[in-house]
Amino acid sequence: MALHPPVTVALARRVDQLPPGQMWSVEPKLDGWRCVLFRTEDGVLLQARSGRLITDRLPDLAEPALALPPGVVLDGEAIAYRNGQISLGAMQSRALASPRRAAALALASPATYAAFDLLQDASGRDLRREPYTTRRSALLEVLADVGPPIEPVPATTDPATARDWWEAGPAGIEGLMLKNPRGGYFGARRYWLKIKH
């Protein structure tokens, strides 16, 4: 496998409004744990944004992620729900928990993995230099037969839909992420844009 932990994740620069004049791919920004998912030949590894392995904190994602083809590396957000709404607190309660306690918390508030990027495909090909549109299409293909709790984040290039997401502002959606459809995946660089409520 070409990619292995730790992978340096792409970052976003904060802006105050949708920039005019350029087409963007827009995704809802979810309130959870940034998490890189590695489907290895013999299991699953989950890495936090910091580079630390957190697989033992997310057993409810590690097991279903075995349905992914070996070699696949995803970037996304681990989120959990309380009372039907995304709850950062439900995820943060696992941060200092022992593996046994984390497993109990996982039963109480199961996590969902909202995948927003495909960094490596099942053949071991590094996709980070490919355009976002290529990676997005490959992501949807990889996840087509996997199903919950491993799911793709919604995305749109329609400004009206993006505005609707922004104005609806349901709990747990922090704002919007904007990505250049022709852009690559640049670790440690604030190449993406984010608008936060």
Catalytic residues: 29
Rounded CA-CA distance 131/186 in Å is 11
Give the number of other CB atoms < 10 A from CB of residue 25: 20
- Hey, is 69 helix, strand or coil? coil
Cβ within 8 Å of residue 64, ≥6 positions away = 146, 148, 149, 150
Rounded CA-CA distance 27/152 in Å is 10
Rounded CA-CA distance 21/52 in Å is 39
Instruction: Find the angle CA(104)-CA(67)-CA(73) to the nearest 5 degrees.
Output: 95
Residue 173, token pair as written in the block? 């959606």
| Dihedral pair phi/psi, residue 66, rounded to 5° | -65, -15
